[in-house]
Copies of this chain bind each other. A is one copy, B any other.
Amino acid sequence: MDKYEITRIYSEKVEVVVDLIAQEVPLSIRVNDDELVTLLASPDHCIELAVGLLYSSGFISSFSDIEEIDVDKQGTIVSICLKNRQLRKDVEYRALLTSGCGRGTLFLQAGEISRRSKIKSEIVLHRNRIFELMVDFQSRSTGYKQTGGIHSAALASSSGIHCVYEDIGRHNAIDKILGYVVMHEIDVQDKFILTSGRISSEIVLKLNRTDLGLIVSRSAPTNQAINYARGTGISLIGFVRGRRMNVYYLNEQVCQIL
């Protein structure tokens, strides 16, 4: 957070106050000495973000695909050296370039949207547990509470929240979670994602490369996100507010809401 002196204007008074503002940095991700993409992101946990982006984009399938990670002193360039020096040929390079900003689906036709592998999730959740977890999640989203300008995402199971990451970009917050999962080889069979952000198609496509089979958001999805959820078998819950939520798609073979 940065501190800025700002003027707060009310109908009846004006005061100069110090306000906490979310930081934004350009983060360049280099793979095998080539710049792959530059994102605007929050300055923390840039390694998780870079690893998660490579994972959710299909460049790596596990942390062991990475030989070396370096971050420059300013924390704005993450250089990753892959063991396989050739980028995987089955990945659409252009698709990645548009990742992290709600684009990239152009490179997949509707007919191609199908689950890349069998979903390994076995999630059994009581509805009230989801409401409780969302309250806990919001209470842990400290960056949002301080600045009002940050998205958050969490890895959770019915037993509780495992980690929370925040970022000015809603895609980035999800990628940080995925980076954490890959780096720590987390078993995600009973786990799912909580997020503050809206669910666009690309968020669903990111999860389609993982073993995560459920995403729960405080916000709304787009129509394409619902279509892709149905096509890939990823369960999609949104608009969790108070004691209410919308189930946009539930894959009952892997996810049960009691």
Contacts and interface: CB of A to CB of B under 8 A. Distances in A.
Copy number of this protein in the oligomer? 2
Q: What is the size category of the interface that chain A forms with chain B?
A: 35 or more
A149 interface: yes
A249 to B, nearest CB: 8
A69 interface: no
A25 B105 CA distance: 9
A169 B101 CA distance: 9
Contacts of A4: 223, 226, 248
A70 B160 CA distance: 53
A243 B98 contact: no
Nearest to A99: B101
A24 B11 CA distance: 39
A223 B97 CA distance: 25
Contact of A21 (B6, B10, B148, B220): B220
A173 to B, nearest CB: 13
Interface of A: 2, 4, 6-11, 19, 21-26, 28, 38-40, 97-98, 100-103, 105-106, 127-128, 131, 147-149, 168-169, 198, 200-202, 219-226, 239, 243-248, 250, 257
Q: 8 shortest A-B CB distances, which residue pairs?
A: A101-B101, A149-B220, A24-B222, A7-B247, A148-B220, A24-B224, A2-B223, A11-B243
